[in-house]
Amino acid sequence: MLNVLIYAMIYLGSALMVYNIYGFIRFVQRAQHNRDWGRGRAVLYIPVALLVMFLLGYLAVGIFGKPDLIISGILFGGSVFVFFMFNLLQGITDRIQAYGQTEAKLMAAEASSKAKTEFLSSVSHEMRTPMNAIIGLDEIALKDGHIDDQTRERLEKIGVSARHMMDLINNVLDMNDIESGQIALRREPFSMRELLALIGLLVGTQCREKGLTYRQEAADDLEDEYVGDGLRLKQVLLGILDNAVKFTPAPGTVTFRAEQIVTGEKTRELRFTVSDTGIGMDAAFLPRLFDSFAQEDASSTNRYGGSGLSMALAKRIMDLMGGAIEVQSQKGRGSTFTVTVPLGRVEAKAPEADEPDFSCLHGRRVLIAEDIDLNAEILADLLELEEIDSERARNGQEALDLFSKNPPGYYDAILMDLRMPVMDGLDATRAIRALDRPDARQIPIAALTANALEEDVQHSLEAGMNVHLSKPADSELLYTTLAKLIAKPE
């Protein structure tokens, strides 16, 4: 009976050792598959060779030797020990491999995010460059007092269409900023009266041109001013109203109502309702309405237009503001959107800011750093309208050279493009700020560029620029910015 136990342990140990050898061979094959070992490949087979020698020893003892219980126990224990050690090694290797795959996926995701940001920045720049020419030339043409009414009307329609195109570009960039967590909400007093007046002007004009009836109502308890991000709120409301106009055939009605529904000590909750008599939506589509690029019917999109981004963007902005959007709709009978948003109470009415005095810009000299001839020409014409002299550099190096060779105070400000050959605007700004002359750190430098992502703004400020303006250049914003930067008290 004892002999049976002894030989059973020896042959079971031998069988286990065969299994261990097979496992190590598979392990070596996997290691070779995952990595090119080159000449070091032979090292992987050393454990296999040792285990084969152990197996031959087990068989020699079992066939030719006279093993006792102690020897058979050692041999069997050795096989068990190798088995557990092999599984431990296998587990450690699997974890290392899994960690490496996770790290690789993370690096791939980061690379993909970076590539997407760079792609959006590049596309934005390329699209904004021709839009800058269209809007700039349109503004200059409209300032000509000798054009006839029909030409003025056509120019105004060109401007509206161009700005609509810019809205689509901005929506894409805003979605990218929100998804990457780079968007920051403002919290400052804004005029609700002016916001509603602007909405009424824009949407009312759209409705009249399309043959729709537009009704706008404001509750009596609505306050003149609130604290929050008025620009983002306006963006949300105009996006919803634009869709209401777009998907309402004539003759139809679009109604917009604003009211205050909750009054707290420091906060107010407002409700905005947009209803229309348009084509409506199926109930099955409503849960997907706020998804990016969601469109119920491709044929309707081709007929009425739309990118499928405005509702997704509105929902994300409302989430950031702590608000909500609800929708009710029936196919063929219209839709009703309800926006609720918390806003702050204005503690004390801030003094109204004086109208910017652009006459303080007359006779000033501005250096324009711009590599595209048409953009530089438009910018120079806009500055000339306010009697501002300008000189042009075709790249950052030329801007640096012109600033360096002229005496301190020769230029009152610099308008700096970011993407230019030879030296870009960021490097040129750093080089100017580093010059050893009294005006190098004081001269206002404004980025005027088609690079409009949030990180582009951050890069401009970090390089030493005072402000970041996006193309197309809005003439009033350009004059106001220059007046704030370079106007000197009498």
Q: Model confidence over 368-392: pLDDT tens digits?
A: 999 988 888 888 988 998 899 999 9
From residue 285, how far is each of 245, 277, 281, 297 by CA, in Å?
A: 20, 18, 7, 10
**Which residues lie closer than 8 Å to 219 by C-beta, 6 or more apart?**
257, 258, 259, 260
| Domain boundaries of the chain, sorted by first residue | 2-108, 192-345, 358-486
Residue 476: per-residue pLDDT: 82
Cα atoms in the Cβ-side hemisphere of radius 13 Å centred on 404: 14
Mean pLDDT score, 454-482: 84
- Contact by Cβ (8 Å): 82, 17: yes
Whether residue 351 has pLDDT greater than 80: no
Fold of 358-486: Rossmann fold (3.40.50)
DSSP percent split of the chain into helix, strand, coil, nearest 5: 55, 15, 25
- pLDDT tens per residue, range 185-232: 778 888 999 899 888 988 998 899 899 999 999 999 899 999 998 888
Q: Is 154 helix (H, G, I), strand (E, B) or coil?
A: helix
User: Can you give 394-413 as a three-state secondary structure string?
Assistant: CCHHHHHHHHHHCCCCCCCE
Instruction: Kindly tell me if the per-residue pLDDT of 39 is higher than 90.
Output: no
Q: Fill in the amino acid letter for 78.
A: G
φ/ψ (deg, to 5) at 230: -65, -35
Is the predicted pLDDT of residue 426 greater than 80, yes or no?
yes
In 3D, which of 415, 445, 270 has the Cα closest to residue 345?
270
Instruction: State residue 297's pLDDT score.
Output: 58
Average pLDDT over residues 295-310: 53
Q: What percent of the chain has pLDDT over 70?
A: 81
Q: Where does the pLDDT of residue 490 fall: very low under 50, low under 70, confident under 90, or very high at 90 and above?
A: very low
Q: Is the pLDDT of residue 254 over 90?
A: yes
Cα–Cα distance for residue pair 334/276, rounded to 1 Å? 5
295: pLDDT strictly greater than 70: no
Burial grade of 391 (CB within 10 A; 0-12, 13-18, 19 or more): middle
Three-class DSSP category at 344: strand
- Residue 176, pLDDT above cutoff 70: no
Angle between helices 310-321 and 230-246 in degrees, nearest 10: 150
Is the pLDDT assigned to residue 301 strictly greater than 50? no
Return all residues near 121 (Cβ < 8 A) that are at least 6 apart: 451, 453, 456
Whether residue 1 is predicted with pLDDT greater than 80 in this model: the reply is: no
Class of domain 192-345 as given by CATH: alpha beta
| CB distance 24 to 51 below 8 Å | yes
Nearest to residue 244, comparing CAs of 214, 265, 266? 214
Mean pLDDT: which of 148-157, 182-191, 332-341, 349-358 is highest? 332-341
3-class DSSP assignment, residue 188: strand
Predicted local distance difference test score (pLDDT) of residue 83:
80
Task: Lowest mean pLDDT of 268-272, 308-312, 342-346, name the range.
Answer: 308-312
pLDDT at res. 57: 75
The two domains 192-345 and 358-486 share their CATH topology (first three levels equal):
no
The pLDDT value given to residue 302: 45
pTM above 0.75, yes or no: no
As a whole number, the mean pLDDT across the chain is 81
What residues are paired with 335 via a beta bridge?
329
pLDDT over threshold 50, residue 3: yes
Cβ 223 vs Cβ 268: under 8 Å: yes
The 389-393 sheet, strands edge to edge: 389-393, 365-369, 413-416, 445-449, 467-470
Kindly state the tokens that stand for 21: 């050898």
- Bridge partner residues of 369 (DSSP): 393, 416
More confident residue, 294 or 333: 333
Residues 6+ apart with CB under 8 A from 186: 228, 229, 230, 231, 232
pLDDT at 489 over 50: no
Mean pLDDT score, 242-262 = 93
Q: Which of 177-186, 323-332, 398-407, 471-480 has the lowest mean pLDDT?
A: 177-186
More confident residue, 77 or 353: 77
What whole-number distance in Å separates Cα of residue 265 and Cα of residue 269?
11
Q: At 427, list the tokens.
A: 């490097």
b vs e for 294-329, b when ≥16 Cβ sit within 10 Å of the residue's Cβ?
ebbeeeeeeebebeebbbbbbbbbbeebebebebeb
What three-state secondary structure class fits 273? strand
Residues in the chain, how many?
490
| pLDDT tens sequence across 75-124 | 777 778 878 877 787 777 777 777 767 777 777 766 666 666 666 666 66
Question: Which band of pLDDT confidence, cut at 50, 70 and 90, is reported for residue 157?
Answer: confident
Q: Which residue has the higher pLDDT, 367 or 311?
A: 367
Task: Give the mean model confidence (pLDDT) for residues 312-327.
Answer: 89
